[in-house]
Chain A
Amino acid sequence: MQKNALHILLADDDEDDRLFFKDAFEEIKIQTNVNFVHDGMQLMEHLLNPDNKLPDILFLDLNMPKKTGKECLIEIKKTDHLKDIIIAIYSTSSSEEDIEDTFIQGANIYIKKPSDFNTLKKIINEVVTVNWHYHTSGLNRDNFLLRLK
């Protein structure tokens, strides 16, 4: 597996969600380095800061203050050096239109926030695994679309 730790960035304004996320990542076998931002503006600042290492996978909540997840998504996809980041939308919405819309805007993964911790662990495990496959098997990132419930 990856020699280097996987860089994960979660943008979510909810403290509890961040906690769950952190705990889940600590419990999976893969080595990861998880960072958090609290809102959209913070996210863009973090990403655009040249000192910061870009994440391998960005988990993005849609409902954030100051700048919504969708706005960030569009902005990221428009920025040359950011548009190749694998983006996983991490949201409570289960509306088909919303989901399809985020894919259309360029998201790679859509995850509906689970209400069970073990499910969360399973999900992020799968995300990381699939991402690794894409990474190592020369699969086309543009076609990387995954939806997890």
Chain B
Amino acid sequence: MKLFIKFDINTICSLYLKQNLEQNNINFTTLGFGEIEIEDNLDAEALENLKNKLVPCGFEVVENQKSVLVQKIKDAIIELVFMDDSNNYKSSVFLAEKLNHSYGYLSNVFSEVTYSSIENFIILQKIERAKQLIIINEMSLTEIAFLLNYSSVAHLSTQFKNTTGITPSAFQRIIKKRRENLK
């Protein structure tokens, strides 16, 4: 039988992180997603070890402040896009409030670090969510467009196409056929 498994990245990552740090007898406190405070002071070698353990799993140990902020911005955006009543929030307001900086400042730091803009990232995330929703196949494109705060299906289609190069319906088709192939 066929099962769809939804997983919560947060839980998985935290769990793994915990396992790894405990293995190495490192005491830590979790400050939030992606942020831990290590109680002990690690020397370079220990830090290097830690990085080596974590990097292969997709973890990146970021020490740079700005990079940290960018990561926070990204997390906030993801939160915004993936929450269900995101229509009520204007992204710039939301981010400014959540991260306690002006939107302009956030925008600059983001562009400096990533060479890409917040707007682009938001779009990327929205399209990503649209892809997920399309795959689950329980909502129509119109409903998805509405949920993601697009003014119309056409608007969603256009942005989808601009971002990925293909139309949402083509995407749907391809995913469907991929599944059939796997059978």
Do chains A and B directly touch (beta carbons under 8 Å) in the complex?
A: yes
**Interface SS of chain B:** helix
- B68 in contact (CB, < 8 A): no
Contact B116 A129 (CB under 8 A): yes
Please give the distance in Å from B158's CB to the nearest CB on chain A.
Answer: 14
Chain A residues with Cβ below 8 Å from B132 are 140, 143
- A115 in contact (CB, < 8 A): no
Which chain A residues (129-149) contact chain B, with CB distance < 8 Å? 129-130, 133, 135-140, 143, 145-149
Please give the distance in Å from B153's CB to the nearest CB on chain A.
Answer: 19
When the two chains form the complex, which single residue of B128, B170, B174 contacts A139, counting CB atoms closer than 8 Å?
B128
- A104 in contact (CB, < 8 A): yes
Contact A1 B115 (CB under 8 A): yes
Contact B178 A104 (CB under 8 A): yes
User: In this complex, which of B115, B124, B174 has the most chain A Cβ atoms within 10 angstroms of its Cβ?
Assistant: B174
Bound complex: CA A106 to CA B179 (Å): 10
Which chain A residues (79-116) contact chain B, with CB distance < 8 Å? 100, 103-106, 110
Q: Could you list some 12 contacts between A and B, CB below 8 A?
A: A1-B114, A1-B115, A100-B177, A103-B178, A110-B165, A133-B124, A139-B124, A143-B175, A145-B174, A146-B165, A147-B166, A148-B165
Q: How many residues of A contact B (CB 8 A)?
A: 23
- Could you list which residues of chain B lie within 8 angstroms of chain A, going by C-beta atoms? 9, 58, 60, 74, 78, 114-116, 121, 124-125, 128, 131-132, 135, 164-166, 170-171, 173-175, 177-178, 181
Bound complex: CA A124 to CA B181 (Å): 29
Bound complex: CA A86 to CA B181 (Å): 19
Bound complex: CA A53 to CA B116 (Å): 29
Contact A140 B128 (CB under 8 A): yes
Chain A residues with Cβ below 8 Å from B116 are 129, 133
Chain A residues with Cβ below 8 Å from B58 are 135
When the two chains form the complex, which single residue of B78, B125, B173 contacts A100, counting CB atoms closer than 8 Å?
B173
Bound complex: CA A147 to CA B163 (Å): 9
Chain B residue nearest in CB terms to A135: B58
Chain B residue nearest in CB terms to A130: B124
Bound complex: CA A43 to CA B103 (Å): 47
